[in-house]
Amino acid sequence: MLWNTILLALREIRRNVMRSFLTVLGIVIGVGAVITMVTIGGGATLQVQQQIASMGSNMLMVSPGKRLGPGQSSGNVPFKEADVEAIMREVSSIAAVAPVSSQSVQAILGNQNWATQVTGSDNNYFYITKRSVATGRQFSESELRSGAAVCVVGETVRKKLFGGQDALGEKLRLQKLSCEVIGILAEKGQSTMGQDQDDVVVIPIRTLQRRITGNQEIGLIQVSVQDGASTDKARQDISKLMRERRHLAPSDDDNFNVMDMKEIAKMLTSTTELLTALLSAVAAVSLLVGGIGIMNIMLVSVTERTREIGVRLAIGALEREVLTQFLVEAVVLSSLGGIIGIILALIASVWLGSVLRVPFVFNAPIIFVSFLFSAAVGMIFGYFPALKAARLDPIEALRHE
Amino acid sequence: MTEEAHLHDSEHAGHLIEFRGVTKIYGKGNAMVEALRGIDLSIDEGEFVAVMGPSGSGKSTCMNILGCLDMPTEGTYLFRDVDVGALDRNQRALLRRHYQGFIFQGYNLLSRTSALENVELPLLYRGTGARERHRLAMEALGTVGLTGWEHHTPAELSGGQQQRVAIARAIVTGPAVLLADEPTGNLDSARSREIMDVLTALNRDEGITVVMITHEPDMAVYAKRQVHFRDGMIVVDEHNGGKA
């Protein structure tokens, strides 16, 4: 009997293809939006995790100022070169320490002009950030010590300024500094924050201080903890050391900040997850709206088919059979909407994923749940119209015009 | 379906249909309308009854009660000795499903649905298997002379053809009685005669009892018995041979 009822429902839907489609449009959009959001969100989370992993999970960042949030600070007391040396010397379990200072500059080559970021550091920077020099070489000891006018450029800078030409040995100008390209970084792509990590020029820290910023300050200290050592322990040790060096009283807050990449990873992941949840919730509201659309059309359908219902009752349909028929119709309708929504969502996810450069992650549970949910919407919102149909008085119904 | 078990026995002692003092009152107070005033009527298996009377005479009310769509306010309606008044809505639906066929003035076919599917509809509710359903529906369409039209939708059929599809739908379950409410009301006289010929043949050849409302004397003469209503009462109940 149920199979027959489903056949009857499909027959009914086929009788009114256009209206059926418009009816389920709400469900299609709702299901499609929820699945797309969850899939893209899942992809973004995965991407964040992958990028964090590629950056190295045993990395600490020491930045000046009170902690406000990731990368934000205020009341800066900048670091000095001595701080970097002290950390390397005093804190055990540390593999490498790199001073990092950055500034936005115009990189100029002939009549080519490109706004980029110049980073002053040393060779440890390449090690800690897991970057390698693809062609050319790193800085030499003497270049670092003397603050020589040499630079290692990222792939984006190379492409923008040199195009197809050979960059090695050429000289490009950063403000008043004319420096020789000695190496090109291996490509790394976008960072978690959406920055192009290849849009960078790396020069020795001393060169940056003397020729560009004009001071001895170090903006950031990056620390790599030895494999297998506790990053928490290293973090506490650095904290203690910096408090001593800055002569902070026990009652004072830190005026610097030691961040663990693991923590940032966790935070970024939870942010993406929260965003995904919020967007999905908004999308879910459209499912509700879709349900109301179904109820609306089912009510219209009951009114329109009053005579038909009368005929069915007259030829011996039971109340529960009429109820089942309309309920099944609503459920079949909304389930079809769900299926269309799922298909559209998968197409949209793959497409959006490629546009946003987010990996496509097939999420079977959410698809299954969305399908069940769309069926449930039909069940819930179809019940009232179905009940109305089943309770019709056959005499009245047959007389209905 | 135990609810219908007591109806299965066709070896009933009394009449097919028996009204005992059936009264139907609509509304209350000043708006009260007495549609039927203590009707006594019995119809036996194999009869062909024409129910006649002006509008408001109670013939439609009588038909609704006969078809278990409405209940008498007072009095008893026995269908094969079963007191219909004691049945609930579902049991009456099952009685209709198994023992009664309906034909309406406006055909009431499902639109955009083929003749075959329309005729199969009552069998769907009876849970008949697909193959058997198809066979019975084709057979019923053959009986009303519509072989070859089974895949046409009502919009593609003439009024007379639509009414014949409706007759096929009513007889496909092999009912004990066919209740026809002005079956020729929307048809010209030639089509009307065709319909009456079909009904007469069903009554004569298949032994189906036919109760038909009509206000056209031309149609009523096809019946073997004529019952006239006026003001909620039966004023004439006469037997004639019927027009064969």
Mean pLDDT of A72-91: 78
Cα nearest neighbour of A15 on chain B: B112
- If we measure between CA atoms, which residue out of A150, A201, A210, A208 comes closest to residue A179? A150
Confidence of residue A290 (pLDDT cuts 50, 70, 90): confident
φ, ψ for residue A134 (rounded to 5)?
-75, -50
How many angstroms separate the CA atoms of A5 and A3, rounded?
5
Q: What is the mean pLDDT of chain A?
A: 86
* Interface probe, candidates A301, A306, A315, A329, chain B, greatest B C-beta count within 10 A: A315
pLDDT score for B2: 40
**Residue B8 predicted with pLDDT over 70:** no
CB contact under 8 A, B94 and A307: no
Question: CA torsion sign, B156 to B161 to B166 to B170?
Answer: negative
% of chain A exceeding 70 in pLDDT: 95
What are the pLDDT digits (tens) for A20-63?
888 888 889 989 988 998 888 888 888 877 777 776 668 888 88
Residues in B touching A398 (Cβ below 8 Å): 104, 108
Pairing of strands A200-204, A112-121: parallel
DSSP codes, B45-66: TT-EEEEE--TTSSHHHHHHHH
- Residue B107 touches chain A, beta carbons under 8 Å: no
Pairing of strands B82-83, A177-185: unpaired
Q: What is the total residue count of chain B?
A: 244
- Per mean pLDDT, which range of A30-39, A43-52, A108-117, B206-215 is the poorest? A43-52
How many angstroms separate the CA atoms of A101 and A247, rounded?
24
Residue B97 distance to chain A (closest CA, Å): 4
Confidence of residue B4 (pLDDT cuts 50, 70, 90): very low
Residues in CB range of A111: below 8 A, 6 or more apart: none
What are the pLDDT digits (tens) for B175-189?
999 999 999 988 999
What six digits make up the tokens of A274? 């929260």
pLDDT score for A56: 64
Question: CA torsion sign, A326 to A331 to A337 to A343?
Answer: negative
Residues in CB range of A177: below 8 A, 6 or more apart: A149, A203, A207, A211, A212
Domains of chain B: 45-68+97-239 (3.40.50.300)
CB A286 within 8 A of CB A346: no
CB A120 within 8 A of CB A177: no
3-class DSSP state of A269: helix
Residue B112 distance to chain A (closest CA, Å): 6
Q: Note if the pTM is more than 0.90.
A: no
Residues paired with B22 in a beta bridge:
B39
Q: Among B90, B113, B117, select the one facing A318 at the smallest CB separation.
A: B90
The complex scores an ipTM of: 0.90
Residue B80, Ramachandran bin (φ over 0: left; ψ between -120 and 50: alpha; else beta)? left
Q: Which residues in A51-199 belong to E strands, given as ranges?
A: 59-64, 94-109, 112-121, 133-136, 150-153, 171-174, 177-185
